[in-house]
Amino acid sequence: MSRIAYVNGRYVPHRSARVHVEDRGYQFADGVYEVTAVVDGKLVDNGPHMERLDRSLRELGIAWPMTPAALSRVQEEVIRRNRVRQGIVYLQITRGVARRDHAFPVRTAPALVVTARHAGPPKAAQVEKGVKVILQPDIRWGRCDIKSVSLLPNVLAKQAAREAEAFEAWLVDTSGFITEGSSTNAWIVDKKGNLVTRHLENAILSGVTRRILVELAVAEGHPIIERPFTPAEAKAAPEAFLTSTTSFVMPVVQIDATRIGSGVPGPVTRRLRALYEAHVQRG
C-alpha cells in the first residue's frame, strides 16, 4: 500500500509530495509542528496538542490554515488513508511561500503538511531495562517553549546520543541545570519520593505527555516539584525517567557513565508508566 500525505489542500502519494522552494519553512525554519500518537487508529490527547499548536502559532504570528476542528479531520483522514493503527501523525504549518525576505510577507497563506506512519510502541526491552542518556550543552535559542521546526541543536544532540549508544541527550543550560531532552522532557524522583521536573518556562517545551503525567500523578497523590535540577542531583537520584509522545514514560538507568539507583527501572517510574499506558488505552 502506498503512503499518502496531505499537502496544502490535497491528498497526494507520499513519494511525490512536494513543497515550494520558497516555502519559509524550508528557507528560514519559519514554522511549527506537532506529533500526535495514534493508538488503535485513534488520536491520543489531540486536544492538548491543538492547544499547544495554537500557542506556537500565536507566538509567531502565523495564522491557522484552517480551524482546529478541520485540521483534526485532516489528521484523521491521513491516518485512515494510511491505515495507521499504531503510530504517529505529524503536522507542520509554515508561514507559507513568499519571495525570500526575512520580514513577514503580507497576504501569504500559511502552508500545511500532514503525514502519518506506523510506529510500534517503545521496544519492550528498553522499557524493561531502562535506557541510557548522555549530557550535552543546551545550545538552543531562548524560546524553546515554541514548537518550532528549527531543530538543528536538537538534531546534533540526538546524533551525539546515537554515537554514544544512548537513547537520548539531556541538555544542560549555561547555569548548570538540565533543561530537557533533545525530544523529551526530563524527570527525576528525589530521595523523598517527590517527582521533580523543570518548571514551564521559555527554556523547555511544554510536553503533552509531561502535562498528562502531572495530572495522573497528582490524582494518585504523588508529590510533584516543578524546578530545575543539576546533573549531579540527577546522577544521585534513586530514579530518573523521560517522557514524550513516542516514548510515553521511559525509565533512565544511566546518565553518562553513572548508574541511576540500582541500575534498573524503579518502582515509582514503573507505576507512572503503567498509569500513563492505562490512560492511553482508555483513549
> What is the per-residue binding string for ligand PMP in 5-44, x denoting contact by CB under 6 A?
------------------------------x---------
* Helix (H), strand (E) at residue 35: strand 31-39
| Binding of ligand PMP by 56 (CB under 6 A) | no
Q: Which of 72, 184, 197, 254 binds ligand PMP (CB under 6 A)?
A: 184
Cβ proximity to ligand PMP, 48 vs 238, nearer residue = 48
**Binding to ligand PMP (CB under 6 A): which residues in 233-272?**
243-245
| Binding of ligand PMP by 180 (CB under 6 A) | yes
| Binding of ligand PMP by 94 (CB under 6 A) | no
Provide the grid cell at 226.
516543578
**CB 112 to ligand PMP: min, Å:** 18
| Binding of ligand PMP by 210 (CB under 6 A) | yes
**Strands annotated E in 139-267:** 168-172, 178-181, 185-189, 195-197, 224-226, 239-244, 248-255, 258-259
- Closest of 214, 213, 162, 212 to residue 183, by C-alpha: 162
Q: Which of 25, 65, 96, 207 binds ligand PMP (CB under 6 A)?
A: 207
Cβ proximity to ligand PMP, 12 vs 139, nearer residue = 139
User: Which region holds residue 256: left if phi is over 0, alpha if psi is between -120 and 50, else beta?
Assistant: left
| Binding of ligand PMP by 46 (CB under 6 A) | no
| Binding of ligand PMP by 209 (CB under 6 A) | yes
Q: How many residues bind ligand PMP (CB under 6 A)?
A: 14
Q: State the Cα–Cα distance between residues 163 and 15, nearest whole angstrom.
A: 29
Q: State the Cα–Cα distance between residues 276 and 82, nearest whole angstrom.
A: 26
Cβ proximity to ligand PMP, 39 vs 264, nearer residue = 39
Contact yes or no for 76/40 (Cβ under 8 A): no
| Binding of ligand PMP by 75 (CB under 6 A) | no
Count CB-CB contacts under 10 A for residue 269.
28
Cβ proximity to ligand PMP, 94 vs 183, nearer residue = 183
Provide the grid cell at 185.
522532557
**CB 1 to ligand PMP: min, Å:** 27
Q: State the Cα–Cα distance between residues 213 and 227, nearest whole angstrom.
A: 16
Q: Integer distance in angstroms from the first to the last C-alpha of the chain? A: 27
| Binding of ligand PMP by 208 (CB under 6 A) | yes
Provide the grid cell at 139.
545550545
Q: Which of 72, 115, 185, 254 binds ligand PMP (CB under 6 A)?
A: 185
**Binding to ligand PMP (CB under 6 A): which residues in 103-122?**
none
| Pairing verdict, β 168-172 and 131-137 | parallel
Instruction: Based on the residue annotation, tell me whether 132 is a catalytic residue of this protein.
Output: no
What CA dihedral angle connects 135, 28, 111 and 246, to 10 degrees?
A: -10
Q: Select which of 42, 123, 147, 158 is catalytic.
A: 147
Catalytic positions, please? 147
The residues that touch ligand PMP, with contacts defined as CB under 6 A, are 35, 154, 180, 183-185, 205, 207-210, 243-245
